[in-house]
Chains A and B, each alone.
Chain A
Amino acid sequence: MIEVKNLDKFFDGGTRQVLHNISAKFYDGKVNLIIGQSGSGKTVLVKNLVGLFKPENGEILYDGRDITLMNRKELKEIRKEIGMLFQGSALFDSETVMGNVMFPLMMFSDMTPEQQRERAQFCIDRVNLTGSADKYPAELSGGMQKRAAIARAIALNPKYLFCDEPNSGLDPKTSIVIDQLLWDITHEFDITTIINTHDMNSVMGIGENIIFVNKGHLGWVGTKDEIYDQDNEDLNNFVYATDLFRDVRKYRRQHGYTKTKVEY
Chain B
Amino acid sequence: MFFTKGLEAFGNYCTLMWRSFGVPERWKEFFRRYLNEISKLGIDSIPLILIVSLFIGCLCTILIKLNMQSPLLPRYTVGFSTREIILLEFSSSILCLILSGKIGSNIASEIGTMRVTEQIDALDIMGVNSANYLIMPKILGLVTILPFLVIITMVTAMFGGWAVCYTGILDPDTYIYGIQTDFVEFDVWFALIKSLVFGFVISSISAYYGYTVKGGSVEVGKASTDAVVMSNIMILITDIVLTKLLLM
Contacts and interface: CB of A to CB of B under 8 A. Distances in A.
Interface of A: 50, 52, 75-77, 79-80, 82, 84, 86-88, 90-93, 103-104, 106-108
Given A52-B125, A88-B117, A90-B121, 14 more contacts: A52-B124, A80-B127, A82-B125, A84-B122, A90-B118, A90-B122, A91-B119, A92-B114, A93-B119, A103-B126, A107-B25, A107-B26, A107-B128, A108-B127
B88 to A, nearest CB: 39
Contacts of B126: 79-80, 103-104, 107-108
Interface string B11-47: 0000000000000011001000000000000000000
A50 B125 contact: yes
Contacts of B118: 86-88, 90
A93 B110 CA distance: 10
B127 A106 contact: no
A98 to B, nearest CB: 15
B115 to A, nearest CB: 11
A82 B128 CA distance: 12
Interface string B75-112: 00000000000000000000000000000000000000
A80 B125 CA distance: 8
A161 B77 CA distance: 72
A86 B26 contact: no
A185 to B, nearest CB: 18
Interface of B: 25-26, 29, 113-114, 117-119, 121-122, 124-128
21 contacts: A50-B125, A52-B121, A52-B124, A79-B126, A80-B127, A84-B122, A84-B125, A86-B122, A90-B117, A90-B118, A91-B119, A92-B114, A93-B113, A93-B114, A103-B126, A106-B26, A106-B29, A107-B126, A107-B127, A108-B25, A108-B127
Contacts of B29: 106-107
Contacts of A92: 114, 119, 122
A87 B117 CA distance: 9
A91 to B, nearest CB: 8
Nearest to A100: B122
A144 B114 CA distance: 20
A77 B128 CA distance: 11
Nearest to B28: A106
B219 to A, nearest CB: 15
A52 B113 CA distance: 19
B127 A76 contact: yes
A107 B129 CA distance: 11
Contacts of B121: 52, 86, 90
A84 B119 CA distance: 11
A91 B170 CA distance: 59
Contacts of A86: 118, 121-122
B26 to A, nearest CB: 6
Nearest to A77: B127
A140 to B, nearest CB: 14
